[in-house]
Structures are given as structure tokens and as C-alpha cells.
Amino acid sequence: MKRFCITLLVLAMGTTSCRKYVEVEQPNQRVFKYTSDFQMLLNNVSLFETSASLPMLSGDDINLESNTSLQNLLTGELQNVYTWAADYYTSDQGDAGWDQLYNQVYVCNQITANVMGSANGTDAQKRSIYAEARVQRAVAYLTLVNLYARVYNAANAATDPGLPLLLSPDLFVPLNRASVKQVYDQIMLDLTEALPELPDNASNKLHPGKAAGYALLARTCLYMQRYSEAADYAARSLSFQHTLLDLKDYADGTKIYPRRLDNPEVILSKKVSKPGNIDLPLSTELMNRLTPEDLRYQLFTRGGNTFQPSFTGRGSYRDKIFLPDNVTAGVSVPEMMLIQAEGLARSGKKDEAMALVNELRQKRFLPAQYTALAAATNEEALRLVIDERRRELFGTGLRWFDQRRLSVEPALAETESRVFKGVTYTLVPGDRYVYPIPPKNIELNPELTQNQR
């Protein structure tokens, strides 16, 4: 068995001894033994608030088109991701997204393995910390399985290769890939068993409360195409948190737009950085879905001369309203409204679906410029919901996950093309929606098989 090739936050876990009088803690070292120690691990913002950035580059929210200077800035693995290449990394490169998310899993496993036996904490405190660690582990695995495994398909999920499913803090374990079904089953188990111990109201956006637990169940079921359950969980999340920002309050610039951790729409904060720290133009395809009257266009996009390096067209500006606030990719109130609306549209309740979409849209236009959307059929309502997801969630990287799940539906799947340095690259429904596992990891762990792409 090989060592898992990820960057780990190594925790010194003590062992018992009958010679306690010689057990002296060494300078600059701490044995994690108190309940408060494990809460402090969950308070590690730099670890737990970070999510994967590369989906921002994969998805069709952005397109470099003919901008040569920007194309020249995309090198190595960034170019490979942007062109949906067969391989992203060489054997001497690591994948920061894979490493970061498995680091989160490792720390969560340290917590779940040890917090219940920790000292100087009440049983309620220990259960709360244990539950939060399971939620954070579920978030990490949900992102991982939607990057490095095939789209969930109930007919094949039990045999499709998923991920190494690590549930204990052992460093030397076989890394055979559990099935996609096993990974999703564990995500659902972690979230459902954690929910009773989550607070009704989270202490802040960095820690999950019940709204986050239900929201993550909604997102999980959405990616599993269990749309009715997704809608139900989204509704439950909204019963705990349903505040929307009214963008007309910020239209004239006199009121300050809230930062990520103060934003009442954010349910659980997860942030991503722009790959290579490069600002990229929004695609024409996306911009055609926005109108100048849409306050999301006015507030969250800017002309390309605002960015460095400058470019033709418009770019995503939402993360730049406050610097350095980063891109927000966590679960949110608007996402829950749109998940519920999608579930309703798919179950034949088009009017209820459109009522939710219009409730959201009323907060995205000045009253004189707002027009309610209407759908004549359930199919039309579904397309309107998906279009609204593009308008509401653009620039976050979440579009890539929508492209993945919709790629298995012939009526909704799309073929994407990009011209990069004179070569046309095309993404069709299939296994290029699965990221390759870094060869470095496989060389160190031969049982970790590569994805077919």
C-alpha cells in the first residue's frame, strides 16, 4: 500500500500510557485531546472555506475567443483544462483541487475518529462538532465525485468507478475507487445523520446550520437526478433561510453591497479563486441571456477594460466588488429557489415553478423594467428555470456541474466549441465531463485507476 499523494495537515494524536508522569508536551507541539481543539480545526477558514477552482475554466460561462494575449496566459494544465484535453497534468504535477479537498476529508476524519473521546467538553458540544465534520466531509466528497467520476446514473452508479472513500484518518490504506453509488450513499448518510445535531441558526456563514444541511441534500439529489427529493430538501432549507437581496437597493451605488460572509443569501460559504488569477471574458452565449436592464448585468459584469489584462467584451465583476472577496460557490438562497423550481417543473407543476423564478427575478430588476416570465408547458418552464440558473449563478463555476448533469439528457445536452490558438476544440456529451486523476497520484498508488476519457 502506498501513501496517498495529498498535502495533509498532520495532527499529533496522543496514545495512552501508564507512565503519565513522563508525558510532557513538547514545545511548539500540541496533542489534540480537548473538545475545543477539534472545534478549532473546523474554524480553519483557509482549509474549509476553499473549494475547487478549475470548473470556472471548464464551463461555458467564459470564452477567450480571439483574445491572443489572454490565451498566452493560459499555459500548462490551465490550457489543458480550458480545451478539455485528454490529460491535464504531467507525472510531476499535483492537482491542487484534489489535494485540498482530500485534505479536508482527512481533517474531518481526524475529528470524527477522536472528538467523542475528547476531554473538557459536553456531550452536546462533541455531537455538534462531530456532525459539522460530517457535513464538511460530505461537501468535499460531493465536489470530488462531480469532478473525478461520471455523472450519476442510477442504472450504472453501482459499477461506475467513483473515488477512494476514506472514512478514517489512516494514511496507509488501499486507494481502490469505491463506486459512484457508494460515494453518493456516504454523502447522503453523512448529511442526514448530521442534520439533527445542526443548529437551527448557524453561528456564521462558515459553519453549517440546518439550512445548509438541507441545501446540501438538495444539491446532492439534483446531481443524482432525484428532482422531487431535491425540491423537497430545497424547500426545507428555505424554511430556515429565505432572505433575498433586492438589487434595486444597490443600483445607484449609494448602498454598499454586502461582503460574502455578511451576505444573507449565502447559506454556507465556499470560495474559489480564479484559475491562474486571470480575469476571463464572459461568453457571448451567456451574455445573450442577460439584458442591459437586468441588475445582475449592471452590478456583476464590467467592460473588459476594467480588468488586467484588459480584453474585449465583459467579465464577471461580482468577486471584485470587495477585494479580495473571492468567488462565492457555496449553497445559497437563490440556488435553493431554483432547485425547488426545477423539481416542480419536472414534476408537472409549471405554474408553481414559475412563481419561484419570478419571486427571484423581482429582486433583480427595477420595478419599471421587471416583466414576469410565463411558461405554456412544463418543458418550457424547465428551460426557463435552467436559463435563470445561468443568469443567477454565472461566474461561480457551478455552471460546469450543470453542464455535466444535463449532458445525459438528450433534450437539454449541448455541444460546446472553443477556438484556442487557431485550433477548434469541441466538448460533446460523454466522458470529457470527467476530470483525469493526476498521473502522479496513480504512480504512487497503482490501485488508483485512471478515468476513461
The model's pLDDT over 238-283, given as tens digits with 9 standing for 90+, comes to 999 999 999 999 999 999 999 999 999 999 999 999 898 899 999 9
Closest CA to 296 of 389, 432, 408: 389
**Banded model confidence at residue 2, pLDDT cuts 50, 70, 90:** very low
* Cα 136 from Cα 152, distance rounded (Å): 21
* Cα 146 from Cα 288, distance rounded (Å): 27
For residue 120, pLDDT over 90 is answered with yes
Task: Output the nine-digit C-alpha cell for 233.
Answer: 430538501
* Cα 414 from Cα 420, distance rounded (Å): 19
**Banded model confidence at residue 4, pLDDT cuts 50, 70, 90:** very low
* Cα 188 from Cα 424, distance rounded (Å): 40
What pLDDT does 17 receive?
39
Task: Output the nine-digit C-alpha cell for 274.
Answer: 480564479
For residue 20, pLDDT over 60 is answered with no
DSSP per residue, 308-348: SS--SSEEE-GGGSSTT--EE-S-BHHHHHHHHHHHHHHTT
Closest CA to 420 of 64, 55, 60, 87: 64
What pLDDT does 29 receive?
63
Closest CA to 93 of 452, 439, 443: 439
Average pLDDT of every residue of the chain: 92
Instruction: Compute the C-alpha angle 232/238/241, nearest 5°.
Output: 155
409 Rama sector, left if φ>0, alpha if ψ -120 to 50, beta otherwise: beta
* Cα 83 from Cα 261, distance rounded (Å): 34
Please state, in angstroms and as integers, the Cα–Cα distance from residue 67 to each residue in 70, 326, 422, 424, following that order. 6, 24, 11, 14
pTM: 0.93
For residue 405, pLDDT over 60 is answered with yes
With 0-12 / 13-18 / 19 or more C-beta atoms within 10 angstroms meaning exposed / middle / buried, residue 203 is exposed
Average pLDDT over residues 35-40: 97
What pLDDT does 138 receive?
98
For residue 384, pLDDT over 80 is answered with yes
H-helix or E-strand containing 120? Answer: none
* Cα 272 from Cα 262, distance rounded (Å): 17
For cell 414559475, what's the residue? 354
Q: Is residue 205 a contact partner of residue 266, using CB atoms and an 8 Å limit?
A: yes
What pLDDT does 324 receive?
66
* Cα 350 from Cα 343, distance rounded (Å): 10
User: To the nearest whole percent, how much of the chain has pLDDT over 90?
Assistant: 85
For cell 457555496, what's the residue? 330
Average pLDDT over residues 57-64: 96
Summarised one tens digit per residue, pLDDT across range 425-442 is 999 998 899 999 999 999
What pLDDT does 408 receive?
96
What pLDDT does 259 receive?
92
Amino acid sitting at position 333: V
For residue 10, pLDDT over 80 is answered with no
